[in-house]
């Protein structure tokens, strides 16, 4: 078996050289090699010439074009080489050798999250209305890491500004859940810790003293 010079086509932009005369040849085998991003079954399905039939040069070119079209449909870049092996009694074997280009990176689509509900839990010394007004986020707003962080800082600012609350510590933990695609629920879980009162001095200082 001898291999004729390879025919390299870029997206089938040029026809191969006359590897076969304008006549028919018994086809013993046809195959596709080098493909990974497009399934072999998909490529076999578009090859019209099958083993046991007779082929011409134009029919081989047509099958080559069908393979290129299958790659275009799959949005995969490629080059194709036709390898033709001649055997005795003018029988031939055809191999379509594919050189695939790297697959494009996957496209990431970011869907903005909208706030569905905002809830405050655990607050006693500050009203929910006051905290809600300070947070300044409401259902329908777009939720981002930055907007939630800013809302958290504003809520904490309310507690810091309330000198009469006499709190030793306030913990604020946002709890995020996703009730349905594209929506987010925000629960502000608040823990208020009151400051300890200083013990009163109940000892008698012993009365007054006067100089004589």
CATH code of 71's domain: 3.10.20.310
User: What pLDDT is stored for residue 6 in this prediction?
Assistant: 37
Residue 203 in domain: no
User: What pLDDT is stored for residue 59 in this prediction?
Assistant: 94
Residue 38 in domain: yes
Distances (CA, A) of 209 to 30, 61, 202, 212: 121, 122, 20, 10
The residue written with tokens 């009151």 in the block is 194
Same domain, 72 and 17: yes
- Around Cβ 95, how many Cβ atoms within 10 Å? 17
Reported confidence tier of residue 198, pLDDT bands at 50, 70, 90: low
Residue 151 in domain: yes
Same domain, 17 and 90: yes
Residues above pLDDT 70, as percent of the chain: 78
Q: Is the pTM of this model over 0.85?
A: no
Among the three residues 70, 100, 130, which one is the final residue of a domain in this structure? 100
- Of the ranges 12-26, 111-125, 165-179, which one carries the lowest mean pLDDT score? 12-26
The bridge status of strand 25-33 relative to strand 54-55 is: antiparallel
Per DSSP, which regions of 111-166 are E strands? 113-121, 142-143
| Domain range for 12 | 2-100
Could you read off the pLDDT of 58-113 as tens digits, one per residue? Answer: 999 999 999 999 999 999 999 999 999 988 888 999 999 999 988 767 777 778 99
Residue 205 in domain: no
User: Count of residues for the chain?
Assistant: 212
- Of the ranges 84-93, 135-144, 175-184, 187-196, which one carries the lowest mean pLDDT score? 187-196
User: What pLDDT is stored for residue 13 in this prediction?
Assistant: 33
The number of CA neighbours under 13 Å toward the Cβ of 133 is 6
Reported confidence tier of residue 125, pLDDT bands at 50, 70, 90: confident
What is the domain count for the chain?
Answer: 2
């Amino acid at each position: 078996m001898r291999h004729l010079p390879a025919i390299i086509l870029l997206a089938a932009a040029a026809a191969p050289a006359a590897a076969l005369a304008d006549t028919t040849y018994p086809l013993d085998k046809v195959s596709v090699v080098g493909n990974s991003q497009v399934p072999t079954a998909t490529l076999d399905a578009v090859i019209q010439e099958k083993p046991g039939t007779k082929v011409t040069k134009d029919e081989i070119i047509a099958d080559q074009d069908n393979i290129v079209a299958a790659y275009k449909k799959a949005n995969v870049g490629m080059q194709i080489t036709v390898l033709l092996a001649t055997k005795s009694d003018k029988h031939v074997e055809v191999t379509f050798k594919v050189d695939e280009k790297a697959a494009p990176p996957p496209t990431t689509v970011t869907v903005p999250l909208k706030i569905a509900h905002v809830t405050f839990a655990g607050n006693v010394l500050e009203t929910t209305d006051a905290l809600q007004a300070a947070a300044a986020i409401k259902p329908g707003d777009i939720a981002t890491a930055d907007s939630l962080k800013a809302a958290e800082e504003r809520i904490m600012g309310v507690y810091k500004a309330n000198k009469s609350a006499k709190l030793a510590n306030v913990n604020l933990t946002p709890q995020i859940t996703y009730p349905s695609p594209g929506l987010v629920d925000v629960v502000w879980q608040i823990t208020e810790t009151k400051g300890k009162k200083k013990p009163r001095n109940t000892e008698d200082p012993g009365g007054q003293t006067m100089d004589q």
